[in-house]
């Protein structure tokens, strides 16, 4: 997950490896939840948790690039 900045769309999903039949639906669900939400929006935290749980269910390794220092951009939480 890459934060693109303050102008919508705010997010982009990069797949490193994996079957398209798993990655593409996950990308669609994730962008539906996050596209209009910058990281400072209160709804972002709730939707980020949903994305993390969704990735866990699909057994996907998820990383976040929020454009912040490394210690603030972990996928945990």
2, 68 contact by CB (below 8 A): no
User: How much is the pLDDT for 8?
Assistant: 65
Which tens digits make up the pLDDT trace of 42-56? Answer: 898 999 999 999 999
Partners of 17 in the beta sheet?
A: none
Q: Which pLDDT score is estimated for 3?
A: 84
Instruction: Give the separation between CA 37 and CA 17, rounded to whole angstroms.
Output: 26
pLDDT of residue 71 exceeding 50, the answer is no
- pTM score of the predicted model: 0.71
8-38 pLDDT per residue, tens: 678 888 787 878 888 899 889 988 888 888 8
């Amino acid at each position: 997950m890459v934060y693109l900045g303050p102008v919508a769309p705010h997010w982009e999903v990069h797949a490193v490896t994996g079957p398209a039949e798993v990655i593409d639906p996950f990308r669609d669900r994730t962008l539906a939840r996050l596209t209009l939400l910058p990281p400072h929006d209160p709804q972002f935290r709730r939707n980020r948790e949903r994305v993390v749980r969704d990735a866990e269910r699909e057994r996907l390794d998820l990383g976040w690039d929020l454009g912040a220092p490394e210690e603030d951009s972990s996928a945990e939480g």
